Structure 1
Amino acid sequence: MNFLNTPTRNLFFTGKGGVGKTSMACATAVQLADRGRRVLLVSTDPASNLDEVLGTSLGNRPTPVNSVPGLFALNLDPEAAAAEYRERMVGPYRGVLPDAAVRSMEEQLSGSCTIEIAAFDEFAKLLGDKDATADFDHVIFDTAPTGHTLRLLTLPSAWSGYIEQNTTGTSCLGPLAGLQAQAAVYQKTVEALADAEATTLVLVTRAEPSAFREADRTSAELRHLGVNNQHLIINGVFTAESTSDPIATAMQQRAEQAIEGMPESLRGLKQSVIPLTGDGLMGVESLRTIGSDQHPVLPTLDQMTSIESYPAGLGELMDDLSSQRHGVILTMGKGGVGKTTIAAAVAVALADRGFKVHLSTTDPAAHVAATMAADQLVGLTVGRIDPVQETADYRDEVMRTAGADLDEDGRALLEEDLRSPCTEEIAVFRAFAKAVSEGTDRFVVLDTAPTGHTILLLDSALAYHREVTRQASQMPDAVENLLPRLRDPDFTRVLVVTLPEATPVHEAAKLQQDLRRAEIEPYAWVINQSLVPLDVSNRTLRHRQNNESPFLDEVTKTLASRVALVAWQTEPPTGLTGLRRITANNSSATTF
């Protein structure tokens, strides 16, 4: 990784979910620490897996990493940060104001806005306040999936502008004193991000068209924010040992075609290419080999065991899903596991059976349209929840209803409140609820956002209930009935999508626990992009195939009652033809 020749103090890793941001960030941190630097590695991802990759139990304070002198790591915990933020805001008023007033402040600070701004406070402190990280030579940020990252990076300007224009001293976060005190830190954060001498933005991608498109969009938006010092890592590039294995040849060709079609703006960036390895990048020793000439020794073919049994495909699962004849199907899981592809394949299969189907996404990165390509199918409509449009519509509705009978000062106050950055979150949440409600007379297939964002969305139902009623005059029926609909197994069916790898499986297990706490029981697990059903002879692919076995066992024997396995596709699974291949089998989804 040639950006390590002259590394800046701050290194930001971002990109589409599942491209290997955490592995690249961890490898960079380990290799810099091995050079004698003191390094702090920070995850801002709600679905962080730093602990697993580094083999060290982490918290929200810098913790020494096992066997790497000089390396410290931490996870920014949004919930813990929010609790500290609430107490910092409310604590000084306890015993000073009446109890009812203090309770009102606590209620006002219970929404998802508080979680977001509190987590951002921690992030800004590390990047914008040099004293907070004075003990370290480098600070490395393993950021959340792209949509969330961009929101994180635009918050300094958004909140600073809101503070400057707000004249009432209150906001959806309660008293603005806390925000005003942070304004200088926010400004320094913006300056640090744009300082090419201080910060490098490392865009991590894979040799896949969708990942390149996402990296291109991210690169452009970051340049618009003034973040111009960018480096591109193309991770997991596969090269076949010979032409004797058609699967290996197809995998290499797909990578070459994707790189050849890379957007021009990315070609101009400095680049590092990381080869695909035969095993998962877990543990410090594996991280030390990334980007170097060292390669782990792979077993010979006669040392590898065959996998004789595995779950079948999506065939009968589609029969079961279609039997309810209407309702909502959610694909959920860690970013990059193929939720969009599975959602699109399910939607096409249902439409092929004669049902009315609407396919949409709540994911800020929104890849549904690209997956569907230009194809059309009778009975199938495709859309997305557009945050910009939803926010504009929501503001208009609130001003038209709640603002109708207000005087000039009251309307000005309401308009000011609606300029808050959290208005977008409320608007998107309402649109999500509306999309779910449309499953009463058709199938609605929702490709949801990556795990952390999705759980915040689901867990925030009651918080949004309070927030919407604070601004609007009445609660929409769709929001009122959202949780009952999500909890009704005859109306909503959740497909937990994962890959046969350690981190996606364990993140999916956490997702399932969170869903069950919310009284939502997953309908089935879909293990995507598996090499196990394929006949491969390439040693790297055989080794990866063998490595899938324990994760297949973990899912089928301990985590799920219903499992479907989708093989890696030699042709990109886009367009109607490609999507139909995923559900073409007539086998049952195996029940364990």
Structure 2
Amino acid sequence: MLLELAADRKVLFIGGKGGVGKTSIASAVGLQQARSGRRVLLVSTDPAHNLGHLWERPVGDEPVLLADDGGSGVLAGLEIDPHATIERHLEQVGQTLRDFMPEHLHKQVDAHLQLARQSPGTHEAAILERIAEVVELAERDYDLIIFDTAPSGHTARLLALPEIMAAWTEGLLNRRTKAEKFGAAIRALDNDDPSSSRGANRDRRIRQVLTQRRNTFEKLRGLVTDPAACSFIIVVNAERVPVLESAELFHELERLGVEVGGVVVNRLSPTDQGEFLAARRTQEEAQLATLRELLPRVAVDTLPMLPADLMGEPAVEQLAQRLR
């Protein structure tokens, strides 16, 4: 299921409850696809990044090489830096506002941005814009983009934002239309006033910025809700809380119009390594049955518990060989 989805899509989101192995599976899928000759970009959106730790090398806010097949296939990694992203986001917003405001109001713009730095929603908006930017750039250079996401609730909120932000920006554009009509009427009364042409130019710049933002969010929304281009894989451990949380995530994604391609049950206990693990496997099978009952239409793959920590390319390669 995993390999078929990866081969047929442009974008994959790998998500689920924290600690279930999302980064490991995202890395294994990416490596397998790179080995098959595709150019893959693996992007971590989780503020608590694990990508660099897993691959045992520095990974930052720009793509770095993780693996290649000696030919056209390549796997690159990127960890979105939330602090740098917020700073870039606020700098861009600040520059735009200062362009639109008279100089004597610039200090007020700076004070507003300082408050916004800690305001609810600033982090999510900045990350969303960075994701849209990464997708736009990666579409030119990569065949597949895999997002290793933050835990369930954060990711569901993030995927809801493109629609929210597009609608919000559309509302701003509608208000700009009314303001421009009023401004044009005022300027028509005094065509000799030099500020008249400056006002018209400012209105055009504001509309241009808002239109660009709306189009960016609408494009991202269109991508994540296109089942031919994008799919979401939920990773879960066969335990009660992760199973119930994964079912909730599935229904939230379904409500948002995001295709869930399947569920991967990770780290199943072996049945032949002693009574303790055998007993645990019995409990896990019961939770697997619950998962299938809660999500009867969803494909389910399973992966075994590995005997050692998954660190470095050889270990990722072993996991990739177990994918189906």
User: TM (normalized to structure 1)?
Assistant: 0.45
**1:124-173, CA deviations, whole angstroms, 9 ceiling, x for partnerless residues?**
2234x3x543110100000110000001000011122222334666xxxx
Give 1:51 shift: 0.3
Aligned to 2:41: 40
Aligned to 1:137: 143
SS at the partner of 1:134?
helix
Counterparts in 2 of 1:291 and 1:280: CA distance versus 1, 3 Å: same
Aligned to 1:389: none
Note if contact 1:89-1:178 (Cα within 8 Å) is conserved in structure 2.
no
Give 1:264 shift: 2.4
Note if contact 2:32-2:320 (Cα within 8 Å) is conserved in structure 1.
no
Aligned to 2:108: 101
1:273 partnered with 2:302: yes
Counterparts in 2 of 1:202 and 1:126: CA distance versus 1, 3 Å: same
SS at the partner of 2:291?
coil
Cα distance in 1 for partners of 2:303, 2:22 equals 12
Counterparts in 2 of 1:228 and 1:66: CA distance versus 1, 3 Å: closer
Note if contact 1:81-1:122 (Cα within 8 Å) is conserved in structure 2.
yes
SS at the partner of 2:59?
coil
Note if contact 1:222-1:228 (Cα within 8 Å) is conserved in structure 2.
yes
Give 1:120 shift: 0.8
SS at the partner of 2:43?
strand
1:82 partnered with 2:86: yes
Counterparts in 2 of 1:2 and 1:50: CA distance versus 1, 3 Å: closer
Give 1:18 shift: 0.9
1:248 partnered with 2:254: no
Cα distance in 2 for partners of 1:180, 1:7 equals 32
Cα distance in 2 for partners of 1:44, 1:108 equals 24
For 1:216, which of 229, 232, 247 is the aligned residue?
247
Cα distance in 2 for partners of 1:66, 1:147 equals 31
Give 1:199 shift: 0.9
Q: State the one-letter code of the partner of 2:254.
A: R
Q: Which runs of structure 2 are paired with 1:510-549 in the superposition (5 Å)?
A: none
Aligned to 1:116: 124
Aligned to 2:13: 12
User: RMSD in angstroms over aligned alpha carbons?
Assistant: 2.5
Higher helix share: 2
Counterparts in 2 of 1:251 and 1:232: CA distance versus 1, 3 Å: same
Aligned to 2:269: 238
Give 1:190 shift: 1.4
**1:465-490, CA deviations, whole angstroms, 9 ceiling, x for partnerless residues?**
xxxxxxxxxxxxxxxxxxxxxxxxxx
Counterparts in 2 of 1:285 and 1:235: CA distance versus 1, 3 Å: same
Aligned to 2:215: 184
Counterparts in 2 of 1:220 and 1:60: CA distance versus 1, 3 Å: same
Q: Mean Cα displacement is larger for which, 99-108 or 117-126?
A: 99-108
Aligned to 1:3: 3
Give 1:67 shift: 6.1
Counterparts in 2 of 1:255 and 1:147: CA distance versus 1, 3 Å: same
Cα distance in 2 for partners of 1:105, 1:185 equals 24
Counterparts in 2 of 1:67 and 1:114: CA distance versus 1, 3 Å: same
Aligned to 1:490: none
Number of matched pairs: 285
Give 1:55 shift: 1.8
1:262 partnered with 2:266: no
Identity %: 29
Cα distance in 1 for partners of 2:210, 2:262 equals 33
Cα distance in 2 for partners of 1:85, 1:164 equals 20
Q: State the one-letter code of the partner of 1:58.
A: V
Counterparts in 2 of 1:293 and 1:142: CA distance versus 1, 3 Å: closer
Cα distance in 2 for partners of 1:89, 1:265 equals 44
Cα distance in 1 for partners of 2:138, 2:95 equals 23
Give 1:115 shift: 2.4
**1:357-382, CA deviations, whole angstroms, 9 ceiling, x for partnerless residues?**
xxxxxxxxxxxxxxxxxxxxxxxxxx
Note if contact 2:271-2:281 (Cα within 8 Å) is conserved in structure 1.
yes
Give 1:116 shift: 2.0
Counterparts in 2 of 1:144 and 1:68: CA distance versus 1, 3 Å: farther
Give 1:106 shift: 2.6
Give 1:111 shift: 2.6
Q: Which runs of structure 2 are paired with 1:386-535 in the superposition (5 Å)?
A: none
1:58 partnered with 2:59: yes
Aligned to 1:193: 224
In the alignment, structure 2 segments of 5+ residues that lack a partner are: 177-205
Counterparts in 2 of 1:157 and 1:50: CA distance versus 1, 3 Å: same
Note if contact 1:10-1:138 (Cα within 8 Å) is conserved in structure 2.
yes
Q: Which runs of structure 2 are paired with 1:243-392 in the superposition (5 Å)?
A: 245-290=274-319, 292=321
Higher RCO (C-alpha 8 Å, min separation 6): 2
Aligned to 2:95: 91
Cα distance in 1 for partners of 2:322, 2:253 equals 32
**1:508-561, CA deviations, whole angstroms, 9 ceiling, x for partnerless residues?**
xxxxxxxxxxxxxxxxxxxxxxxxxxxxxxxxxxxxxxxxxxxxxxxxxxxxxx
Note if contact 1:212-1:263 (Cα within 8 Å) is conserved in structure 2.
no
Give 1:29 shift: 0.7
Cα distance in 1 for partners of 2:210, 2:303 equals 42
Note if contact 1:234-1:272 (Cα within 8 Å) is conserved in structure 2.
yes
Q: State the one-letter code of the partner of 2:302.
A: V
Cα distance in 1 for partners of 2:207, 2:114 equals 16
Note if contact 1:194-1:226 (Cα within 8 Å) is conserved in structure 2.
yes
**1:190-230, CA deviations, whole angstroms, 9 ceiling, x for partnerless residues?**
11112111112111111112111111111111111111242
Counterparts in 2 of 1:283 and 1:118: CA distance versus 1, 3 Å: same
Counterparts in 2 of 1:290 and 1:7: CA distance versus 1, 3 Å: farther
Cα distance in 2 for partners of 1:53, 1:109 equals 34
SS at the partner of 1:65?
strand
User: TM (normalized to structure 2)?
Assistant: 0.80
